[in-house]
Structure 1
Amino acid sequence: MVEPTPPPQEKRSFLSTMKAIAWSFIGLRRKRDFDQDVAGGMNPVYVIIAALIGTVIFIGAIVLAVRFAIS
């Protein structure tokens, strides 16, 4: 007997991936959205690019906060 194949997962756009990464970064994520991410809806290249952009923004915010604190 042939098992039915699940429908193909729809890949997220880059902006949708950035939004998912941003919400995950601050810890506010719905379980339903997390389950979609785990199911494979995100492109790994987009995730890496989003992580690099998020890292740059985070480090920039820390540097600005330190400069503000010592001035």
Structure 2
Amino acid sequence: MHDDGGGAMTEVKRSGTFGQALKAVLWSFFGVRKRRDLEADATQLNPLHVLIVALIAAGVFIGVLILIVRAVVG
């Protein structure tokens, strides 16, 4: 939603792709992101795509950690 200046809220179309959301989330997991890219992501990416990608990436990360621990311990 976006305030058009007259008090009315208008729908904002976000044209970011799922791949762009994946790239943004993976860079965020790594901890390195340029401010200019962050601002572009905030205006272009669909928050639902970012949320879905973040949950999947977190699940994969936890799964990899569990596999590593099992390989070392067992």
TM-score bin (small chain): 0.7 to 0.9
Where structure 2 has 5 or more consecutive residues not aligned to the other structure, the ranges are 6-11
| Alignment of 1:49 onto 2:44 | no
TM-score if structure 1 supplies the norm length?
Answer: 0.76
Matched, 1:21 2:30: no
Q: Which moved more, 1:9-18 or 1:57-66?
A: 9-18
Matches within 5 A, 1:22-41: 22-38=26-42, 40-41=43-44
Instruction: Give the CA deviation at 1:26.
Output: 0.9
**Percentage identity across paired residues of the two chains:** 38
**Which structure 1 residue ranges, 5 or more long, are not aligned?**
none
Where relative contact order (Cα < 8 A, 6+ residues apart) is larger, the structure is 1
Runs of at least 4 residues off by over 4 Å: none
Structure ranking higher in strand proportion: 2
RMSD of the TM alignment (CA)? 2.0
Change (3 A) 1:34 1:54: same
Distance 1:10 1:57 in 2: 27
Which amino acid in structure 2 is aligned with residue 48 of structure 1? L
Provide TM-score, normalisation by structure 2. 0.73
Report how many residues are paired: 64
